[in-house]
């Protein structure tokens, strides 16, 4: 495992300006925030099924949130104030390619829990990995599986006790979208690239089929794959210390408050919980009160989460490469309260309103559900540590393929063709 720890990753562009992807005022651009390396116009590396987009010598697509051009001058005299730490840069999705500084030697395999049908695929994958590399290490999250004992060079890890943040070169998920969400939750900072196989129920975030896993895994190991960076939300739940708090709560109190921090891939949901009263919470943006949410609750989601709970509540669907945060009310008590999209990097804060009749409840990617009382707060902003998800083709084609296959987007019965007589009439 010592060799795998030496593998370091960066996410940079070969453009002269060298913009970092998803760098904002919360991170230092001099550091290496991610574990994957992305190059622009890489000619040798190709996606799984589609050729890379042609390059343009005269114009590169947008790299900045502030306009459709990298140029920061406007007219003969106007220009944009130079403040690199306050500007978030994004890359052309077609340029996002995976490469390795050193050959990967450690992989974390995570399978869907309580699904016996995945035992055989899990075993086949482990055997394949140990055969192609004699020094390959596989970390099996399902340490109770009997087939693990049949495979050499396979290490088991206890997620709740072992620190795997610097021991994993990339991750392979066997299951559905929930398996990928679980893999994201294991890494609170830099996340290794994730290769997700569709062996679950929906599979919107899992583009690979297991039938040809040998060739697909080999291509990823060789650094021949496209990658999509799924932004996450950095969430801080601050709870005021109360005298009737338990011993466990008291041990976590710092300066009178208990603060818990999470990395969320899909969404933060604040709802009314078991109460029959409307949820009543105040929503702040960069310290300013923008509205009070009255209804069943509110969803704060990433572009990846826009196709999950948010779209069921009436929100639009946003491509994961769009740097944004979506705010969607759940059954609002006002017909004019529609979902809105705000720029990534802003700080949202949710607190219980003074007029609230009951407490609220918050859940993070469907987990860590907890009660929010008066004086507590939930702070949400864009995380500096996205999830690099390996693509089957490329970021754009994979997303539209998922819309068509999983959500049946714009599927309808076609109109019959008009006959020549009807056209003349």
If asked whether residues 358 and 403 sit together in one domain, one would say no
- 81 found inside a domain: no
218 and 288 belong to one structural domain = no
- Judgement on whether residues 305 and 284 belong to the same structural domain of the protein: yes
Mean pLDDT of 123-140: 70
123 located within any domain: yes
Mean pLDDT of the chain: 76
27 occurs within a structural domain: no
Q: State mean pLDDT over 254-272.
A: 87
Quickly list H helices, 261-358: 309-312
Range of the domain at 226: 97-231+388-407
What pLDDT was estimated at residue 167? 81
Query: 9 in a domain, yes or no?
Result: no
Inside any domain, residue 32: no
Catalytic residue among 160, 162, 169, 177: 177
pLDDT band at 240 (very low <50, low <70, confident <90, very high): confident
Would you state the pLDDT for residue 33? Answer: 39
pLDDT for the residue numbered 224: 84
Contact in structure between 343 and 371 (CB atoms under 8 Å): no
131 vs 270, residue with greater confidence: 270
Give the pLDDT of residue 12. Answer: 34
Which CATH number belongs to the domain containing residue 349 in this structure?
A: 2.60.200.30
Instruction: Please check the confidence at residue 69 and state whether its pLDDT lies above 60.
Output: no
Same domain as 308, residue 275: yes
Q: What is the mean pLDDT of residues 57-74?
A: 46
Same domain? 376 vs 237:
yes
Q: Is 296 a catalytic residue?
A: no
Q: Binning pLDDT at 50, 70 and 90, where does residue 284 land?
A: very high
Domain assignment of residue 6, yes or no: no
- Convert 158-195 into a string of H (helix), E (strand) and C (coil): CCCCCCCCCCCCEEEEEECHHHHHHHHHCCCCCCCCEE
Same domain as 375, residue 261: yes
Question: 393 and 302, same structural domain?
Answer: no
Asked whether residue 182 falls in the same domain as residue 145, the answer is yes
CA–CA separation, 231 vs 195, rounded Å? 16
**For the chain, what is the domain count?**
2
Does the residue 10 lie in any domain?
no
Q: Is 192 exposed, middle or buried (0-12, 13-18, 19+ CB in 10 A)?
A: buried
Residue 333: inside a domain, yes or no?
Answer: yes
| pLDDT at 38 exceeding the cut of 60 | no
pLDDT at 156: 62
pLDDT given at position 238: 93
Do residues 266 and 220 both lie within one domain? Answer: no
Residue 39, pLDDT score = 36
Judgement on whether residues 168 and 213 belong to the same structural domain of the protein: yes
- Indicate whether 335 pLDDT > 50: yes
Residue 410 pLDDT exceeds 80: yes
């Amino acid at each position: 495992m010592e060799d795998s720890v030496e593998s370091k990753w960066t996410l940079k562009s070969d453009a002269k300006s060298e913009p970092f992807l998803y760098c904002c005022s919360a991170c230092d651009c001099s550091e290496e925030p991610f574990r994957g390396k992305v190059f622009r116009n890489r000619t040798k590396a190709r996606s799984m099924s589609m050729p890379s987009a042609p390059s343009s010598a005269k114009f590169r697509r947008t790299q900045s949130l502030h306009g459709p051009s990298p140029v920061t001058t406007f007219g003969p005299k106007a220009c944009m104030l130079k403040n690199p730490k306050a500007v978030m840069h994004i890359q052309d999705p077609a340029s996002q390619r995976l490469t390795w500084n050193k050959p990967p030697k450690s992989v974390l395999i995570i399978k869907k829990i309580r699904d016996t049908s995945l035992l055989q695929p899990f075993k086949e994958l482990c055997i394949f990995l140990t055969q192609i590399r004699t020094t390959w290490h596989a970390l099996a999250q399902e340490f109770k599986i009997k087939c693990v004992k049949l495979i050499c060079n396979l290490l088991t890890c206890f997620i709740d006790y072992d620190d795997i943040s610097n021991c994993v070169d990339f991750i392979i998920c066997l299951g559905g979208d929930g398996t990928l969400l679980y893999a994201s939750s294991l890494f609170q900072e830099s996340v290794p690239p994730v290769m997700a196989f569709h062996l679950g129920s929906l599979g919107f975030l899992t583009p690979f089929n297991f039938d040809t896993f040998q060739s697909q895994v080999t291509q990823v190991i060789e650094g021949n794959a496209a990658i999509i960076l799924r932004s996450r939300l950095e969430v801080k739940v601050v709870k005021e210390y109360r005298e009737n708090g338990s011993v466990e709560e008291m041990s976590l109190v710092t300066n009178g408050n208990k603060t818990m921090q999470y990395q969320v891939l899909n969404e933060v949901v604040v709802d009314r919980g078991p109460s029959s009263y409307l949820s009543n919470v105040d929503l702040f943006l960069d310290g300013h009160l923008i509205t009070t949410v009255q209804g069943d609750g509110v969803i704060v989601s990433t572009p990846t989460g826009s196709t999950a709970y948010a779209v069921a509540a009436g929100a639009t669907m946003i491509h994961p490469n769009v740097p944004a945060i979506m705010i969607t009310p759940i059954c609002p008590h006002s017909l004019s309260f529609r979902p809105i999209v705000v720029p990534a990097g802003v700080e949202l804060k949710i607190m219980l309103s003074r007029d609230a009749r009951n407490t609220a409840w918050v859940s993070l990617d469907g987990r860590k559900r907890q009660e929010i009382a008066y004086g507590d707060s939930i702070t949400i902003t864009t995380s500096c540590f996205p999830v690099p998800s390996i693509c089957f083709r490329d970021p754009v084609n994979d997303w539209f393929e998922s819309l068509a296959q999983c959500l049946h987007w714009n599927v309808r019965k076609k109109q019959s063709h008009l006959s020549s007589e009807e056209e003349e009439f």
